[in-house]
A and B are shown apart, each in its own frame.
Chain A
Amino acid sequence: MMMTTSKAEQPDTLGFAIEQIRKDFPILQQTIHGHPLAYLDSAASSQRPRVVIDAIRNYYEHDHANVHRGVHTLSHRATEAYEGAREKIRSFINAASTREIIFTRGTTDAINLVATSFGTRLSDGDEIIISHLEHHSNIVPWQMLCARTGAVLKVIPIDAQGEILFDEFTALLGPRTRLVAIAHVSNALGTVTPVDKFIAAARERDVPVLLDGAQAVPHQSVDVAALGCDFYAFSGHKMFGPTGIGVLYGREEWLEKLPPYQGGGDMILSVSFSGTTYNELPYKFEAGTPNIAGAIGLGVAVDYLLDVGMHEICRYEAKLLDYATNAISAVDGIRLFGTAAKKASVISFNLDNIHPHDLGTVLDHQGVAIRTGHHCAMPVMEYFGIAGTARASLAVYNNEQDIDQLVSGLNLAIKMFR
């Protein structure tokens, strides 16, 4: 029997069928050091539902061949599945056309693609605007670009809540601004940036905007048409898909104008030593045999997210984040980092006199997996004058028990170290 209702419609916790969801993720059915695994590190990498794992195995067992090349049956099947995944992703983020969906290795690769290809348009004194909140992957490619071209990197400051200062942003927008690149959701603090107004302000000046959506896509529905951004980058592995696959959405008019990122097979129409004609979109940006299984797995991850329902995910995670924030805040000597008005998925904190790494080791012994350190966002840590934090990050498969286990682990650490 096919289920006709969405998975989320059989409520049990916080109005959500969490037990059913948890069963979909085989990796969660284990104990670590004798405790049930409480996986609270999904901002680093999420886990995969059975359907994604099965899809990848099924593809390799039955359908694998190279795409866009052979005339044989398997090549046809592989191409259909790969392009089918592209269409799923197009629809998922509401892009106008699959020509705007480029498969990459991940968010980092997608941003590097833009920095490289868009970067050819820049010259000495042009300006790129990023924010103080960014992950290193939305800082370093721009620094490298600036070093190549003589362009200047401008950084929008943040406030003590971990929000990007909009007024400072508009003050930075100027005649030489060529691109704005900011996080939709901060990986280190969980801040949801009110990107609409940033995009509107940039568009008034015809400045294109790239959003780093790695931490947004698994937690809220993203509509690139409604957002009006020019580029949107995200990773498969943070949204229940495989590692090594990601997506760059690019507005078609931009992608048409930009030169290819890498050269090789699949991105060409014809090659001779007198010159090469590049392939049409999106293939112009996909040199070499792509991560076919990864793309297919990502397509199934999208199906899974839609099956649970993005609206339901967003609503459930907001309740769980509230529960977690309250529970963690009540722990003795806790300091939270990132208290933005709107947050998603992430709670970053430190405990008085206990180093995050020691905390991470003690929590691991309680079966609790969190991230400790600078979260690839050293400037954010620098802003708060700390070396790192402990970060618990949520996904739709987490429940209140995971949070309770975390809190009892924190209390144990306090007993040990103070």
Chain B
Amino acid sequence: MMSGEQQLQNLYRNTVLDHSRNPHNFRRLEPADRTVQGHNPLCGDKITVYLRLNVNDITDIAFEGTGCAIAMTSASIMTEIISGKSLQAANEEVDRIMSQFHGPAAHQQDAAELASNMGEMAALSGVRAYPSRIKCATLAWKTLKAALRGDSSPVTTELNGEQHDRV
């Protein structure tokens, strides 16, 4: 068991703080082939995810908006992971990451397993000890999921079966 202080350090690692201070790909893409807004009505955070496509490949991804350190870091790392992937590969990546935050076995992995399952997103694995903050970590990914589907209407953290982590 981690102590409270360790848990907090584990949540706000240096990687997280660095991304939140200087998020990567934090810009508007104009024109963009896909633009979707994501909203967390519990805290008022809003982000916009932009995609530029070449047939089935993502040639550029960027985001804008306001959010906590967790939300900004998650979006920042997401753009790094997704850039250059095909739509299908990106979609699989979204599902894998989402399942790491919501999946039943999420808490029983060692560091190596985490790294192989989450890649760079392992930096945010500490969020899983904070049920009320999981939405902060998944907002960008949920928004990306909608963009990959070709939706253009805004996404919220409060719908689509996420009630279990309502704060």
Chain A residues in the interface with B (C-beta under 8 A): 33-34, 353, 355-358, 361-362, 365, 372-374, 378, 381, 386-388, 416-417
Q: Can you show 16 pairs from A to B with CB atoms below 8 A apart?
A: A33-B4, A33-B5, A357-B70, A357-B136, A358-B69, A362-B8, A362-B12, A365-B5, A365-B8, A373-B44, A374-B43, A387-B44, A387-B46, A387-B66, A388-B44, A417-B69
Q: A356 to B5, alpha carbons, bound, how many Å?
A: 19
Interface string of B1-31 (1 = CB under 8 A from A): 0001101100110000100110000000000
Residues of A within 8 A of B8 (CB): 361-362, 365
Whether the Cβ atoms of B12 and A372 lie closer than 8 Å is: no
Choose from B11, B44, B130 the contact partner of A381 (Cβ within 8 Å): B44
Residues of A within 8 A of B12 (CB): 358, 362, 416-417
- Tell me, yes or no, whether B85 is within 8 Å of chain A by CB: no
- Tell me, yes or no, whether B67 is within 8 Å of chain A by CB: yes
Whether the Cβ atoms of A387 and B70 lie closer than 8 Å is: no
Residues of A within 8 A of B20 (CB): 417
Whether the Cβ atoms of A357 and B43 lie closer than 8 Å is: yes
Closest chain A residue to B167, Cβ basis: A373
> With contacts A365-B8, A416-B12, A417-B17 known, is A358 near B42, CB below 8 A?
no
Whether the Cβ atoms of B43 and A373 lie closer than 8 Å is: yes
Residues of A within 8 A of B17 (CB): 416-417
Closest chain B residue to A386, Cβ basis: B44
Whether the Cβ atoms of A378 and B44 lie closer than 8 Å is: yes
Whether the Cβ atoms of A358 and B43 lie closer than 8 Å is: no
Closest chain B residue to A373, Cβ basis: B43
- Tell me, yes or no, whether B133 is within 8 Å of chain A by CB: yes
Q: A386 to B46, alpha carbons, bound, how many Å?
A: 11
- Tell me, yes or no, whether B115 is within 8 Å of chain A by CB: no
Closest chain B residue to A372, Cβ basis: B43
> Which 8 A-B residue pairings sit nearest by Cβ, starting from the closest?
A387-B44, A355-B68, A33-B4, A357-B68, A373-B43, A374-B44, A388-B44, A365-B8
Residues of B within 8 A of A381 (CB): 44
Min CB distance, A381 to chain B, in Å?
A: 6
Q: A223 to B69, alpha carbons, bound, how many Å?
A: 46
Q: A299 to B17, alpha carbons, bound, how many Å?
A: 49
Q: A352 to B8, alpha carbons, bound, how many Å?
A: 20
Whether the Cβ atoms of B4 and A356 lie closer than 8 Å is: no
Q: A365 to B11, alpha carbons, bound, how many Å?
A: 12
Interface string of B100-144 (1 = CB under 8 A from A): 000000000000000000000000000000100100100000000
Choose from A353, A365, A386 the contact partner of B4 (Cβ within 8 Å): A365
- Tell me, yes or no, whether B45 is within 8 Å of chain A by CB: yes
Q: A33 to B4, alpha carbons, bound, how many Å?
A: 6
Residues of B within 8 A of A33 (CB): 4-5
Q: A372 to B71, alpha carbons, bound, how many Å?
A: 15
Most buried by B among A353, A355, A356, A372: A355
Residues of A within 8 A of B136 (CB): 357
18-66 of chain B: CB within 8 A of chain A:
20-21, 42-46, 66
Q: A355 to B66, alpha carbons, bound, how many Å?
A: 9
Residues of B within 8 A of A387 (CB): 43-46, 66
Choose from B21, B45, B71, B130 the contact partner of A361 (Cβ within 8 Å): B130
Closest chain A residue to B4, Cβ basis: A33
> With contacts A372-B43, A373-B42, A374-B43 known, is A357 near B133, CB below 8 A?
yes
Residues of A within 8 A of B43 (CB): 356-357, 372-374, 387-388
> With contacts A357-B133, A381-B44 known, is A34 near B69, CB below 8 A?
no
Q: A373 to B133, alpha carbons, bound, how many Å?
A: 13
Residues of B within 8 A of A416 (CB): 12, 17
Min CB distance, B2 to chain A, in Å?
A: 11
